[in-house]
Amino acid sequence: MNRKVLVTGGTGYIGSHAVVELQAVGFEVLIIDDLSNSTAEVVDQIEKISGIRPGFEVFNLLEYERLQTFFVTNPGIEAIIHFAAFKAVGESVEKPLAYYRNNLVSLMNILDCMSEHKVPNLVFSSSCTVYGQPDQLPVTETTPKKDAESPYGNTKAISEELLRDVVNVNPEINAIALRYFNPIGAHPSALIGELPRGIPNNLVPFITQTAAGIREQLSIYGDDYNTSDGSCVRDYINVVDLAKAHVIAINRLISHTNNDRYEFFNIGTGNGASVLEVVHTFEKATGVNVNYKIVARRAGDIEKIYADTTMANNVLGWKAQASLSDTLLSAWNWEKKIRNIK
């Protein structure tokens, strides 16, 4: 019998790629998603890629009774990957209460149900935003956390503390938090990728939509930061590489090879790339020019951050593989497919 994993937010951008990678190594996957930032058609696309249709239910994790019923009717879940969360930095500055309520209460409901229904393992979708604007780069897992620059980042920092405290007093629960840097790109099949609702909050879909003529112009927020070209620097990680980290983390939890019952790892490439560098790399990889303009800085943005991935490489046994150029090309292939661009 295949081992059963619940993926919350499994029709979302990172979640859908994780479902494909879990199925590829034989896990039975169940998805809960409220479709607030995705569509049900993603399940069909997952099935096209893997030949397996994951279990799928539509509801919000704040619906506690519904979540309880889900665990009663789906016994034997060995692990949960918790992706479901609001994730737009700018929006979180405008709507802090919505972010705190959604991101924190959903995790608390999951942890309650894990305890009650004897689900022992959790992989938590965290973020490099927990570091705030670090004093030293690259950031390691022991880099002191600064105040988060946004309510979104703060929900991830609080969630990690919540996880640590729950694991400390509950010997039946083990958890790994994966601190993502900036996920980009799409599955090589171009059947799943990043498709934000409305105006994209992330750089790469805005680049691809501008290149496709969906958006008139890409705004680059600031060219006066203390970086090589004045634009913000991030660590851009291929989404398939990122998805594979979750499979490794699940296996680590199930096989009890984790040294501590609560662990956390940076998941990035270890290299920083500026916004302008990403734009120019995209243009070179695809042969398509991007219409962009420099505008004022955006509230909540960190100047520069990139990962030290030594722990993920040596302890978790995971390493990023894809190049920035290939990853941006995969994002463009996805954009072309969904827009029917030849």
Q: Token pair of 262, please?
A: 């609560």
pLDDT, one tens digit per residue, over 203-243 is 999 999 999 999 999 999 999 999 999 999 999 999 999 99
Q: Extract the tokens encoding 249.
A: 């983390």
Catalytically active residues, by annotation:
152
pLDDT value for 148: 87
> What is the spatial distance between Cα 7 and Cα 32, in angstroms, rounded to a whole number?
7
Burial 123-162 (b: 16+ CB within 10 A, else e): bbbbbbbbbbebeebbbebebeeeebbbbbbbbbbbbbee
Asked: is 4-183+237-267 a CATH 1.50.10.10 domain? The reply is no
Kindly state the percentage of the chain with pLDDT values over 70: 100
Residue with tokens 């069909």: 44
CA angle, 299 as apex, 295 and 303 as ends, to 5°? 80
The pLDDT of 55-73, averaged and rounded, is 98
State the average pLDDT over residues 164-177.
97
The band of 1, judged by pLDDT with boundaries at 50, 70 and 90, is: low
Rg (CA), the chain: 19
In the predicted model, is pLDDT for residue 283 greater than 70?
A: yes
Whether omega for the bond prior to residue 183 falls within 30 degrees of 0, making it cis, is no
Q: What is the pTM of this model?
A: 0.96
Alpha carbon distance 88, 168 (integer Å): 30
Is residue 132 predicted with pLDDT exceeding 90? no
For position 178, what pLDDT does the model report? 98
Neighbours of 267 (CB within 10 A): 27
How confident is the model over 237-261, as pLDDT tens digits?
999 999 999 999 999 999 988 879 9
